[in-house]
Structures are given as structure tokens and as C-alpha cells.
Amino acid sequence: MQELVERFRRHLEAEKRASPHTVRNYILNVEQLVTFMREKGRPLLPGAVDIPLLRSYLASLFGQNEPSTIARKLSSLRAFLRFLRREKVIEENVAMLLRPPKAKKALPSFLTVEQAGVLVEAPLAVAKVRDAALFEVLYGCGLRVSECVGLDLRDVEAEVLLVRAGKGKKDRVVPLGEKARRAIERWLPERLALRPVDDALFVNARGRRLTARSVRRFLDAHAQAASLPKTHPHALRHSYATHLLSSGADLRAIQELLGHASLKTTARYAHVDFEYLARAYQNHPHAGDVFKSGKK
């Protein structure tokens, strides 16, 4: 078996021209399987690598490895067995019959109510009226940054925003809160003074429509000035959803406001909200050990 592993190494280096890092990882992953076979008393022969063995090996990795790590190890074994099949050492690449574990989806990041308030109000401290309106719309209306910079003057009405051709090319209507409306009203005279080249609601110093990259740069600058953790525009949208949920809003209503095609996507905020509430509950002097023990 060790001789075959060395042949596989030469194959990766000479034929595949893989990087040293890739070669090292592939060989390490294959050698870990060989070690597992030795520990289980299996013969160190290519024919001994069958589906039960691979399933047992992958199962042994759970708990100590992330699903993405296990998937990479399986990918290395597939490549090794593919090489052995090409060399006519084995007849079938049984590793192809196994599915890699699904990677965990990271929960949306969000700001606390206090952090969101500080960030949204930070531009006013430096007379950045445009940025204040921009952040109020991102947080107060839960828009994607692309939707926000895509707004035109005609999309702003007395109590609603018209979001045209959002994700999936779908239009939707979202409520325009009083704070966001007033922030826009303060911005409009300054916008006019910049002589906009079109009807974009948010423009730069040259009167041209803002880009998503510009918004991220503005957000970084104001977060740093307000001594807040580094964040991103989508975190304001996540915060909008999480804070609505904390206030008792219905999950399906939040789905409509965010423009999600599937309730499953919106339901991720229920997990975020629970974690947030659990952490807050732990700070209560009479919280007990309910959350600390993992009971929910």
C-alpha cells in the first residue's frame, strides 16, 4: 500500500502538477486512511478499501472535524482510488458511491439593537447626511445593498419604498419608517446641490449613483469611528430581521419584507434570535443553569 501511495504522490507532482501544499494534503489524507486500516486490523491492500471501511472511517472523523474538512478528506480518497483504477489496481472507485457531509450554513451575523443605533447615528456626528440616510434605509427597511443603491427618487413614497427588480428580479413594497423618511428628507437638498446625472436616490460627490463597494467603505469608516466591530451592509439587513423577530413579528411577515423566496431562508433568523436571547438570559442573576447545561 505504501508503494502505491508513493506512486500517487509522483502522479500528483509530475502529471497533475499540483502545488506542494495540495500534494502534502492529499498524501496526508490517504495515509490517515492507511493508519485507520492498520488500527482496525484490515489488510493493507487496495482491495480492502470497500464501502463499509470508508463509511467506518468517515464516521470516526465526526465530532473532531468540521463537515467541510471531512468532505476534503473524502475528495482526496476519491482521487487516490481514481488513480488506482486508472492503473488497473482496482476495478471500481467505491469512494464515488459515498456522499460528502453537508457543510454547516453559517448563521447570519447581526448587530445588537444598541450597536445598530450607534452605527446608524454615527454619520450625523460628522455631518454626513447622505450616509445617515443610507444607513437608515439599509437598517430601517431591511434592504440589500444592491437594492439600496438601485433606488430612484420615484421609488420613495410617503410611507413606503418601492424595491424594483430585487433578488430574483422581483418587485416588492416595504414600509418606510419615520426615521428613514426624515433622514431622506434631510439628504434631498444636499443631493440636489451635487447636480445628479440621473434619478438615483443616493449619489456620490460627482452626482453619480453610489456603488455597493462605496457603501461598504462608508460603513467601515463609520463603524471604526464609532468604535464598533467591523461589519458589512448585509449585517444591517440581518439586524433588521432579527430585531423584528425579537419584537414579536411573524416569520412570514418578515419573509415578505425581506423578499425571500423561501420561508426556510427566513427561518434562519429564528435560530439567531434564540441564540441572542439565550445569551441575554444568561446575564440574568436568577437565570439558573438551563442554558448553561445545553437544555432548551
Q: Indicate which residues carry an active-site annotation.
A: 144, 167, 234, 237, 260, 269
If we measure between CA atoms, which residue out of 80, 86, 63, 95 comes closest to residue 29? Answer: 80
Whether the Cβ atoms of residue 116 and residue 243 lie closer than 8 Å to each other = yes
Query: Hey, how many other C-beta atoms are within 10 angstroms of the C-beta on 76?
Result: 21
**Degrees, nearest 5: CA angle 215-178-275:** 65
Q: Is 291 helix (H, G, I), strand (E, B) or coil?
A: coil
Q: Grid coordinates 506512486 are at which residue?
A: 7
User: DSSP of 235-274, one letter per residue?
Assistant: HHHHHHHHHHHHTT--HHHHHHHHT-S-HHHHHHHHHHHH
Three-state SS at 7:
helix
